[in-house]
Structure 1
Amino acid sequence: MILLMIIYSFFMMLLSIILMIMGMYLFMFKYSIYIEWLMLNFNSMKIEILLLLDYMSLIFFSIVMLISSMVMLYSIEYMKNEIFIKRFIYLVMLFVFSMCLMILSPNIFSIMLGWDGLGLISYCLIIFYQNYNSYNSGFLTILCNRIGDVSLLMMICMFMNLGTWNGMIYNNNFYSYIMNLMLILTTMTKSAQLPFSLWLPAAMTAPTPVSSLVHSSTLVTAGVYLLIRYNKLFMLNMNINMMMLYISLMTTFMASLMANFEYDLKKIIALSTLSQLGLMMLTLSVNYYELAFFHMIIHALFKSLMFLCAGDFIHLMNNNQDIRKYGNMLMIMPMKSLIIIFSLIMLMGFPFLSGFYSKDLIIEMLMNKKLNYMFYLIYILSMTLTISYSIRMILWLMFYNNNFMPMMYFKENKLMTFCMMLLLIFNFIFSYNVFNLIYKSYLFNMHMSDKLMILNFYMYGFWIGLMMFNNNMYKYKNFLNFIMSMFFSLYMFKFSYKNLFNLIYKYEIFMEKAWLELLFGMYMFKLMFMILKL
């Protein structure tokens, strides 16, 4: 199995490099390749397989291949004592195949095949360890995602009335408002926007390599990628755009605020992912879909690196995820500590690192928009809180004196370090080159005071992070209950699902297995028996 994982990693890495070169070539010469295979004609409805190869699909495909190759190589050491390692490898391969099917297809029907594959395989990966917490997390994940799957099926039915499933060529106002609502609901569930944000932190019960691949770079960005592809349909109605703007803004603010009070290492990174997803959706809602795509692929690179570093720390600390029991890791494991510090600085958007090129440009473009002051206030506060929880996490992991684990068992694994170093190098190289090639058209001159105002946020975020590190906030129990329940959406889900499942249970017991069985099932059986007897 180790040989299979090495071969898979090497093949994915080679494919990633080839696809990246092809994507850059298609962008520079403004080419796109459209492959169509007609399978069946049914009442003027074409059932066909479509593949769209342009710079967006190939670059995103390349990033998925790169991260999956590093995750598979990393899993050789991380999952070496796992009994069901074969099942893990096959699930990861199936997941990558489903993601690639969704990326390359503009057809809403074949997108549905990849979309359902993503949902089902992510459920299998979340419950991989088969304990009570994993089953609860998987159940919550599948329930939230099923809502989006139903709305995607309704979109397929609506496109049938138009005579095509290729929604990317759709430019008619017929059904536009309903289709916009279905599209937004689909993407909100998969990208974990409010009120469907609960499943993303809960999905951290999966193995850490799965979290690095599934819950940072592929599954959660599937909704964002679908909106990027269907941006013409999404821009038809400005009211829905504004609704999405404020939903994504509140998601970003809620996740950034919640991460400042969390002590679980993987949940902090998951909430960071949720905050960045809100930023991508916010950028899409003001029609900067190329910037959203740029931030999506940059975020995928540094967030997968962050998860791999966190997984190595958890692996060495005997599966302990509480950051209060870490400390002084910079002295114990200097190489991995420097890598996770670099990934957190990229998340903060420190100048001339990978996160800076996308986040700083998004902030500048949003400041150029005519939006109200309350929007800017919450948005700036969210970006400042992103810096504060990153600083708080660095302080707890690296500079806090207490460490309750014996240091004799700490040993840096060379294979894991190699995977992280390779991803770090790709972060440095890829972001600057893609920024120079593609996104120079977005640059414009700003006033010096506005430019320096962005740098002031770093100082405010650093100060808030120090305050959160030094102060115990658990004396404010009511406020913490509001924050940690994701603005009470946890209780809303518990109440709605409890009543819904009670209703389904009563219907099954009293109707399906009682009256309906007695009136129809047994009656029809007796009637058929009497006819056959005659």
Structure 2
Amino acid sequence: MCFYMFFFLFFFSMMNFILMIYFIMNNLIIFFEWEMISLNSMSMVMSILLDWMSLLFMMFVLMISSVVIYYSKSYMSSELNLFRFIILVLLFVISMLLLIISPNIISILLGWDGLGLVSYCLVIYYQNIKSYNAGMLTALSNRIGDVLILMVISWMMNYGSWNYIFYLEFMKNDLIMSFISIMIIMAAMTKSAQIPFSSWLPAAMAAPTPVSALVHSSTLVTAGVYLLIRFNLLILNTFFIKILLLLGMLTMFMAGISANYEFDLKKIIALSTLSQLGLMMSILSMGFSDLAFFHLLTHAMFKALLFMCAGVIIHMMNNIQDIRFMGGISLYLPLTCLCLNISNMALCGIPFLAGFYSKDLILEMVSYSNLNLFVFFFYYVSTGLTMYYTIRLLMYLMINDFNLLSIYNLYDEDYIMLNSMFMLLFMSLISGSFLSWMIFYYPYMIYLPLNLKMMVIYVSLLGGMIGFLISNMNIYGMNKFMMTYKLSNFLCLMWFMPSLSTYGISYYFLNFGQNLMKNIDLGWSEMYSGQGIIIIMKKYSMFYNIFQMNNLKIYLFSFVIWMMIIIYLLFLNI
């Protein structure tokens, strides 16, 4: 079944690619609309928007999901309910496709909510306490975004239609409607895990690795960025856009630092995703939506490949994810290490790989733009941190000694996983260059002084050197000589955001909700509404039921009473 699904999705991906080329060549946009309900001046319609952007993104989503399903055939081979897993992944992909092609805020909500619900089902797929806690954190964080989208739907009733794509020009000049842009930005921040909603993204690593590859590359976390790209005209005129720039940069910086303290292989890659999402959000808030979209697509390829490589390594290590137990695996898993190295180098922005074309262009546009030194500092330090944790990861995985067991069985002959990884390896090599030719109508030629032009390389080399040195130092020695234990704990635990989200906010809100339900929903409200009416009706029906039982004693009793009343009335008249 996995092979058929792979073939089906890959075929549709290629069809989307051909259509996208045709749409770009002819500058086409197709808009379908189906009216379902019409009530007075309001009409509920199902709309589909097909342009080069939606077709290109759908092509990437379908390609990655086809490869992930093929990879799952081997990775999840011991799973008894493989069919259920594949159905959940397909539901996830369908929700994302619905969100991509929707110019209508109601159909966007369907895809948006579908992503949140199915992601909860996938995060708790391995049924244990840790997975359940991670799933609840993911669902509750995304639920904030769902509520904000619902508020946007109610607010847009002022326009008489929910096809936001036609109202962007008008809404950006309407001061009251700037509330819509603030709610859209906050909804996108929850889905793309920006500060202060970042804690759910590393927690979602409780899901199976194929799901992580799909979630962190092209579906769940990119939904917020894609929504802001579509609402780009509206959000640029709001005061909140500067706050989004600041929060995006802080997310990028925080994730880069936390990844250098992490020892869980999947969480390191998850934090690198968080860092890249911060990069996309911040460059989007500067007005370069095409660059954000370009980086979103290139990042999808090498990040899915990175997670697949991590899945193979975890499989071979008896499901251990701690990188301190790994080492020297390049001798035993050469093809997996080849894919891992190339995807890591693409992440760092090594020249002529996929990540270079988008990342280098973004950093040069930052150097070229009229922003302050604070923004410049955060962008380049975060780039150095990316190189820092990548080199540290490679040192732990490939160069350091193997620390797991004296008897082990490492082999690189799972050809289903390798074939799926090689497809993404090919795309990680070429996608940057061919996307840069297709997306931009004219080539970006940025003229900068030599020092600024070479700044990306300087920062990357410096970050790589620091990563190499730190990975050879003892972590306790590093804490002792470089910083205090409390500060390193603060940096390691994502600035205490998981604690604030779970124990601080979620715990009190859930308790408050439980008290409300107990005292109002199941208390006063229940007795004076639904349940109260049922109890009263029940008592009356029991009373009337006595008279309907055809009981002779009751009839005699009632007859005697009536006779007594009549006699009393007669005597009263006399």
Q: Is the Cα–Cα contact under 8 Å of residues 64 and 214 in structure 2 kept in the other structure?
A: yes
Q: 1:5 deviation in Å?
A: 1.0
| Structure 2 residue runs without a partner (length 5+) | 545-574
Q: Distance in 1 between matches of 2:535 and 2:291?
A: 67
Contact 1:309 1:340 in 2 (8 A): yes
Structure 1 residues 195 and 525, CA gap change in structure 2 (3 angstroms): same
Which is further off, 209-218 or 131-140? 209-218
- TM-score, normalising length from structure 1? 0.96
Q: Who wins on radius of gyration, i.e. which is larger?
A: 2
Q: Equivalent residue for 1:203?
A: 204
Q: Which range moves more in the overlay, 386-395 or 6-15?
A: 6-15
Structure 2 residue aligned with 1:510: 519
Deviation at 1:146, TM superposition (A): 0.3
Large movers: runs of 4+ above 6 Å: none
The residue type equivalent to 1:484 in the other structure is C
1:146-225 residue pairs with structure 2 within 5 A?
146-170=143-167, 171-172=169-170, 173-174=173-174, 175-225=176-226
The CA distance in 1 between the partners of 2:26 and 2:531, in whole Å, is 69
Does the CA-based 8 Å contact 1:5-1:72 persist in structure 2? yes
The equivalent of 1:141 in structure 2 is 138
Q: 1:457 to 1:39 in 2, by over 3 A?
A: same
1:528 aligns with 2:537: yes
1:510–1:41 CA distance, 2 compared to 1 (3 A): closer
Q: Which residue of 1 aligns with 2:491?
A: 483
Q: Mind listing any 5+ residue stretches in structure 1 that lack a counterpart?
A: none
Return the letter of the residue paired with 1:338. L
Over the matched positions of the two proteins, sequence identity in percent amounts to 45
Tell whether the 8 Å contact from 2:392 to 2:471 is kept in structure 1 after alignment.
Answer: yes
Residue identity opposite 1:443 in structure 2: M
Return the alpha-carbon distance in structure 1 between the equivalents of residues 271 and 243 of structure 2.
22
Contact preservation (8 Å) 1:328, 1:403: no
CA distances 1:349-402 after superposition (whole Å, capped 9, x unpaired):
001111000000000111111111112112211110001000100111010023
| Counterpart Cα distance in 2 of 1:461 and 1:361 | 19
What are the residue-to-residue correspondences of 1:257-296 with 2, within 5 Å? Answer: 257-296=257-296
Q: CA deviation at 1:411?
A: 3.9
2:333/2:410 contact within 8 Å kept? no
Counterpart CA distance in 1 for 2:521 and 2:163 is: 40
Report the Cα offset of residue 409 of structure 1: 4.5
Aligned to 1:78: 75
CA drift at 1:531:
5.6
Task: Summarize deviations over 1:404-440 as a string: whole Å, max 9, x none.
Answer: 2434453431111111111111222322112123334
Q: Note the 1:330-349 alignment, pairs <5 A.
A: 330-349=330-349
Q: CA shift at 1:482, angstroms?
A: 1.1
Of 473-482 and 447-456, deviating more is 473-482
Give aligned pairs, total.
530
Give the direction of change, closer, same or farther, for the CA distance of 1:42–1:514 in structure 2 (3 Å limit).
closer
SS of equivalent residue, structure 1 residue 252: helix
Shift in CA distance, 510/359, structure 1 to aligned 2, threshold 3 Å = same
**2:118 corresponds to which of 121, 134, 138:** 121
CA contact (8 A) 2:124 2:132 kept: yes
Q: Which residue of 2 aligns with 1:415?
A: 416
CA contact (8 A) 1:67 1:301 kept: yes
CA distance in structure 2 between the partners assigned to 1:519 and 1:39 by the alignment: 37
Query: Which amino acid in 1 is paired with 2:463?
Result: G
Which of residues 466, 470, 473 in structure 2 aligns to 1:471? 473
Tell me the secondary structure at the aligned position of residue 412 of structure 1. Answer: coil
Aligned to 2:34: 37
Instruction: Provide the C-alpha distance between the structure 1 equivalents of 2:87 and 2:524, rounded to a whole number of angstroms.
Output: 45
Distance (Å, rounded) in 2 between the aligned partners of 1:282 and 1:132: 35
CA displacement at 1:519 relative to structure 2: 5.0
Name which of structure 1's ranges 430-439 and 222-231 shifts more when overlaid on structure 2: 430-439
CA contact (8 A) 1:385 1:464 kept: no
Distance 1:147 1:522 in 2: 31
**1:54 equivalenced with 2:51 (yes/no):** yes
TM, length-normalised to structure 2: 0.89
**Are residues 524 and 328 of structure 1, via their aligned partners in 2, closer, same or farther at CA, if it must alter by over 3 Å?**
same
- Pairwise CA RMSD: 1.6
2:201 corresponds to which letter in structure 1? L
- 1:176/1:233 contact within 8 Å kept: no
The question of whether the paired residues in 2 share the 8 Å contact of 1:332 and 1:407 is answered with no
Corresponding residue for residue 23 of structure 1: 20
- Larger CA deviation: 153-162 vs 400-409: 400-409
Distance in 2 of aligned mates of 1:529 and 1:160: 43
1:320 aligned residue:
320
Question: Helix, strand or coil for the counterpart of 2:162?
Answer: coil
Do the aligned residues in 2 keep the contact of 1:148 with 1:190 (CA within 8 Å)?
Answer: yes
1:56 deviates by: 0.5
